[in-house]
Amino acid sequence: MNAMIEELPQLTCVKASGRLDFEASSGFQTQMEAAVAGAATRGAAVVIDCASLEYVSSAGLRVFLVAARAAKAANIGFAVCSLVPAVKEVFEVSGFGRIIDVQADFAAASAKLAG
């Protein structure tokens, strides 16, 4: 699991790749907390680009919820985008799609959040 944080003018993009399972979830959560805090200080929204995220487990899912909550508490936009079918299915089954903004790709997320 790897997460690359890229700061764009009105967006912080977190490019997640690999497998987000129990072993990876703690490190990813720390990175997400830093990304959301950094975005909040400059009033930017956060997008997690999951194009290269192959797998997410129950432990990994929790990180998305923690990050979305932190973004809401900081009053900044939050979305995930480019879910591969396996990850999309986990989002659908768990119901995450009902509370987290899921966009088809980064362009759509960027257009929505950075306006």
Partner 1 sequence: MITLPEELLLLAVEDDGRIAYTAGLPGFGLAIIGACLAELSVGGRLDADLSGVRVVSTTPTGIAAQDLVLEALAKGPGRSISDWILELQPRGPELVAATLGILTQRGILAQQDQRFLWVLKARRYPMKDGREQREAKLRIMELLLSEELPSTADTVLLGFAAAAQLLQGFLSSAEIARLEHRIQQVGGLDLFVRGTEEAIRADAEIRARAFMTPLF
Site size for partner 1 (CB under 8 A): 23
Interface residue with partner 1, options 16, 40, 68, 80 (CB under 8 A): 68
Amino acid identity, position 76: I
Residue 66 CB neighbours (<10 A): 16
CB 86 → partner 1: shortest distance, Å? 9
Q: Quick one: which H or E segment has residue 7?
A: strand 2-7
Q: Which residue stretch of 3-11, 16-24, 37-45, 105-113 sits at the interface with partner 1 (rule: CB under 8 A)?
A: 16-24
**Secondary structure class of 27 (helix, strand, coil):** helix
Q: Does 76 sit near partner 1 (CB under 8 A)?
A: no
- String of contacts with partner 1 for each residue 35-64, x by CB under 8 A: --------------------xxxxx-xx--
Provide the binding-site residues for partner 1, judged by CB under 8 A: 21-23, 55-59, 61-62, 65-66, 68-69, 72, 89-90, 93-96, 98-99
